[in-house]
Amino acid sequence: MKKKTANWMKVGMLGCAAVFGVSAANLPVNAMSSAKAPVLIASVQQVSVPAAAGVKVEEKELHGKSTNLETHIRVPQLTGMLDTHYQEELNDIILSHAEKDLAAWEKKADEAAAEAKAAHLKYLTNNLYVTYTLKSDGTGQPAGVISLEVITEGSQGGTSMPRIDTYNVLNTAEAQRVTLSDLLGVHYKEKLDADILAKMKMSTDPYFLEEYKGTGTEQPFYIEKGDLVVMFPKYSIAPGYMGSPEFRFALQGERQIEHAAQESKQEKDVKLDLRQIAKFTGANGVTMVSLRDVAKQLNWELTWDQAAKTAEIKKDAQWSKVTMGKDLYATLSKAPKSLGTAPVMRSGKLFVPLQFISGVLNVQVQP
């Protein structure tokens, strides 16, 4: 029985692209349809969030056009962050994910309805729900940390697989993503993994101990009332009726988050061989390099949104988004930055300034 559940989970994860997003997200880039959703956005309304004296949430409601999909989509948009550029970028990412999810599920629902009609079967309406919780508004402990949880759950015939995206950000003038290493120290993994396993063994719940492999690089978590809550996907380490397992740990004392310099050092031993990259010199004398070639050589994941003319590139805890014709290069840890030259399309490839490699991806360039 357990084996069947595990196999079903793998199929479900492939179908839904990703069960958990980047804590930020990772700010995760969830692989959904690149087609733009047929979306109608209702008027923005202020949502009352308990104990939200810091940042607040405004809500956007999305409605699709397909009669084969029932939706309840409430997309959170943060307000009140000190770094308004980071806030705008983060809100855009959250909204974009919801729009892509809606487009993908509408397509899936319409296809399922057509198949049912052709087979003279009753069609069971699909459902898509997007809900959220502001876990920490930045006024609690650790000081300044904002934690937002977004749950996306689509169902077909009663079968569902939720995806939970968590966004943890330090609310400062130059906002930055908060990671587990920021909270627990660089060498946190061994102890945290052992503590979670100990909680599983002590519990009367039927956890799949043999399925537990510890925490991952992009482990979802959130901060709530001074506690660290680590999350795992539904079905991954426990039966489905237990939902998405969570493990809560008290963060002792007041903590001052000092963003680890790991991101800037992450690729210190990696060099981009410029000789293997398609490039050209622009009219302003700036060397432009093919983003696709860069991603392939460095083994980064690259996705392209044709409708938005936007590329997203990520590897482990690093992520960036670039838009054709827009001189703003977004990252998770800092506000979008200008490099003086916007990305351009040439011969079917998107080209970015050479400075993007060292200044945004933190990768050295070998001439």
Q: Which pLDDT score is estimated for 182?
A: 87
Which of 135-144, 176-185, 249-258, 259-268 is predicted least confidently? Answer: 259-268
Higher pLDDT, residue 252 or 94: 94
Cα–Cα distance measured from residue 176 to residue 266, given in angstroms and rounded to the nearest whole number: 16
The b/e string for 275-300 (b: 16+ C-beta within 10 A; e otherwise) is: eebeeeeeeeebbbbbbbbbbebbeb
Using the predicted structure, report yes or no on whether residue 190 has a pLDDT greater than 60.
Answer: yes
Fold held by 263-366: Copper Amine Oxidase; Chain A, domain 1 (3.30.457)
- Reported pTM: 0.65
Q: Which pLDDT score is estimated for 334?
A: 64
- pLDDT tens digit string along 284-302? 899 999 999 999 999 999 9
Q: Which pLDDT score is estimated for 367?
A: 74
> What values do phi and psi take at 281, rounded to 5?
-100, 125
Quick one: DSSP state of residue 138?
S
Q: Which pLDDT score is estimated for 108?
A: 92
How many percent of the chain have pLDDT more than 90?
Answer: 55
Cα–Cα distance measured from residue 185 to residue 255, given in angstroms and rounded to the nearest whole number: 12
Whether the Cβ atoms of residue 164 and residue 151 lie closer than 8 Å to each other: yes
**Residue 321, SS3 per DSSP:** strand
Residue 11 host element (H or E) = helix 2-16
Q: Which pLDDT score is estimated for 40?
A: 41
Using the predicted structure, report yes or no on whether residue 47 has a pLDDT greater than 60.
Answer: no
Grade residue 317 by pLDDT with cuts at 50, 70 and 90.
low
**Six token digits for residue 345:** 């399309």
Cα–Cα distance measured from residue 125 to residue 6, given in angstroms and rounded to the nearest whole number: 26
Grade residue 237 by pLDDT with cuts at 50, 70 and 90.
very high
Residue 349 host element (H or E) = strand 349-353
Q: With CA atoms as reference, report the closest residue to 226 among 314, 327, 316, 138.
A: 138
**Six token digits for residue 184:** 């627990």
Average pLDDT, the chain: 81
Higher pLDDT, residue 309 or 34: 309
Q: What single-letter amino acid sits at 291?
A: L
Residues of the chain with CATH 3.30.457.10: 263-366
Q: With CA atoms as reference, report the closest residue to 91 among 123, 129, 56.
A: 56
Beta-bridged to residue 22, according to DSSP, are 25
Whether the Cβ atoms of residue 260 and residue 181 lie closer than 8 Å to each other: yes
Residue 5 host element (H or E) = helix 2-16
Grade residue 258 by pLDDT with cuts at 50, 70 and 90.
low
Q: Which pLDDT score is estimated for 284?
A: 87
- pLDDT tens digit string along 55-108? 999 999 999 999 999 999 999 999 999 999 889 888 988 998 899 899 999 999
Q: Which pLDDT score is estimated for 245?
A: 95
- E strand intervals along 5-125: 40-41, 45-46, 56-63, 69-79
- pLDDT tens digit string along 2-15? 433 333 333 233 23
Q: Which pLDDT score is estimated for 181?
A: 86
Higher pLDDT, residue 269 or 125: 125
Grade residue 159 by pLDDT with cuts at 50, 70 and 90.
confident
Higher pLDDT, residue 26 or 59: 59
- pLDDT tens digit string along 261-285? 444 444 456 788 999 999 999 888 9
Whether the Cβ atoms of residue 148 and residue 158 lie closer than 8 Å to each other: no
Cα–Cα distance measured from residue 282 to residue 273, given in angstroms and rounded to the nearest whole number: 20
Residue 273 host element (H or E) = strand 271-273
Q: Which pLDDT score is estimated for 156?
A: 81
Residues of the chain with CATH 3.30.565.40: 2-250
Instruction: Sort strands 271-273 and 364-366 into parallel, antiparallel or unpaired.
Output: parallel
What's the CATH number for 2-250? Answer: 3.30.565.40
**Residue 133, SS3 per DSSP:** strand
